[in-house]
């Protein structure tokens, strides 16, 4: 629609300051003639857009000009408000900024949309803090100062020093080249390289961070979704990981999925139980996870896991089988 395109044109000029007709046509995917007609329409409507001649000329808005988000339709406004209800921004220290932005979105909406969009958003809840069993979901706090320092380095393309506490190791300082940030189930991760090798750091384990002036060694463009998938695959298939075949009461499925690294296969037996092939970090992890499920799960293979669980059960039975 032309109204949407006119709003987009104004927002482009506000963001970039000055753009040529050719650049605007590429951004808006219309002809330069259409851009010129839109500029004339904006001028006629009182928008202070003017042309600058010369080699580096183009179109620009008078300094200080502001416009309301009248181009937002009701569905677009609702999408923004619902996005603002997600807790993932907390992982990057953006919670307060996101809340402020949502207030500005509501304030800038036309009167005809404001009450309807805000009321609809109240009827949608995304990722609550507890599930139906009143189990509180894992919530990892990242201090605002650390999150802000990491964000600055990522956006500026600078090297980053982090004081990182890896599992089972003494915290130490590392200098990395930050690539991007990923949030998964409200857990934030920094994707980076160190001496050219891929590294993934959990933000909650960063004890301190410092942006450096030195440019980071990283590609100009990155496909974070693909990078995350590749690293996830390497993580699931590396180290001492083990694959287990298990029969499971479907009522405990989410509990198993929540602790396993990956579910490789799944089918339903004739009695309604699930037959699942899952991967765990190591033998100890597999034994612990299956033990937590008690009689709701049966490890079918490998045999060492069945033996280990039987020995543990025997030891428990022996301890409580005699009177004190």
pLDDT in tens, 47-58: 888 888 777 778
Asked if residue 142 lies in contact with residue 92, where contact means CB atoms within 8 angstroms, the answer is yes
The mean per-residue pLDDT over the stretch 67-72 comes to: 54
Burial of 108 (0-12, 13-18, 19+ CB in 10 A): middle
14 has a pLDDT exceeding 90: no
pTM of the shown model? 0.49
Asked if residue 117 lies in contact with residue 176, where contact means CB atoms within 8 angstroms, the answer is no
Output 88 or 17, whichever has higher pLDDT. 17
The mean per-residue pLDDT over the stretch 242-250 comes to: 94
pLDDT of residue 315: 92
1 has a pLDDT exceeding 60: no
Query: Cβ–Cβ contacts within 10 Å for residue 146, how many?
Result: 19
Task: Report the C-alpha gap between 216 and 175 in whole angstroms.
Answer: 10
Output 126 or 181, whichever has higher pLDDT. 181
- Range in 140-144, 181-185, 233-237 the model is least confident about: 233-237
The encoded tokens of residue 158 equal 């600078």
Task: Report the C-alpha gap between 112 and 170 in whole angstroms.
Answer: 58
pLDDT of residue 181: 87
Average pLDDT, the chain: 80
State what percent of residues in the chain have pLDDT above 90.
Answer: 31
pLDDT of residue 38: 86
The mean per-residue pLDDT over the stretch 139-162 comes to: 87
Run of H or E residues at 159: strand 158-164
As separate numbers, helices (DSSP H) first and strands (DSSP E) second, the chain gives 11, 12
What sections of the chain are H helices per DSSP? 2-16, 21-28, 32-44, 74-83, 95-108, 111-121, 144-156, 224-237, 253-259, 283-292, 303-320
Going edge to edge, which strands form the sheet with 172-184?
197-202, 187-194, 172-184, 158-164, 206-215
pLDDT of residue 136: 59
Output 161 or 27, whichever has higher pLDDT. 161
Name which of 73, 12, 70 is nearest 39 in CA terms: 12
Task: Report the C-alpha gap between 176 and 132 in whole angstroms.
Answer: 41
pLDDT of residue 160: 96
Confidence bin at 268 (pLDDT 50/70/90): very high
């Amino acid at each position: 629609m032309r109204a949407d395109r006119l709003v987009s044109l104004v927002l482009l000029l506000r963001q970039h300051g000055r753009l040529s007709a050719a650049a605007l046509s590429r951004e808006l995917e219309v002809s330069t003639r259409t851009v010129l007609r839109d500029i004339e329409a904006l001028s006629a409507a009182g928008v202070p857009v003017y042309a600058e001649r010369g080699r580096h000329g183009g179109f620009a808005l008078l300094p200080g000009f502001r416009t309301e988000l009248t181009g937002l339709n009701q569905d677009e406004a609702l999408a923004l408000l619902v996005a603002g209800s997600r807790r993932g921004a907390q992982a990057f220290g953006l919670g307060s900024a996101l809340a402020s932005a949502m207030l500005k979105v509501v304030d800038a909406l036309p009167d005809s949309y404001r009450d309807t969009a805000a009321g609809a958003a109240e009827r949608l809840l995304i990722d609550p803090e507890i599930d139906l069993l009143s189990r509180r979901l894992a919530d990892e706090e990242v201090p605002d100062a650390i999150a802000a320092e990491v964000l600055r380095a990522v956006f500026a393309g600078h090297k980053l020093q982090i004081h990182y506490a890896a599992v089972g190791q003494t915290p130490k300082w590392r200098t990395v080249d930050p690539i991007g940030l990923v949030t998964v189930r409200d857990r934030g991760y920094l994707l980076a390289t160190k001496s050219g090798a891929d590294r993934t750091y959990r933000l909650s384990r960063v004890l301190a961070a410092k942006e450096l002036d030195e440019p980071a060694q990283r590609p100009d463009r990155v496909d974070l979704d693909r990078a995350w998938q590749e690293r996830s695959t390497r993580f699931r298939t590396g180290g001492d990981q083990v694959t287990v075949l298990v029969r499971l009461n479907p009522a405990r499925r989410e509990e198993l999925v929540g602790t396993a690294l990956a579910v490789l296969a799944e089918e339903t037996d004739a009695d309604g139980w699930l037959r699942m092939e899952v991967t765990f970090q190591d033998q100890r992890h597999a034994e612990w996870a299956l033990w937590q499920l008690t009689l709701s799960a049966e490890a079918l293979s490998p045999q060492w896991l069945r033996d280990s669980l039987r020995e543990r059960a025997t030891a428990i039975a022996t301890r409580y089988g005699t009177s004190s």
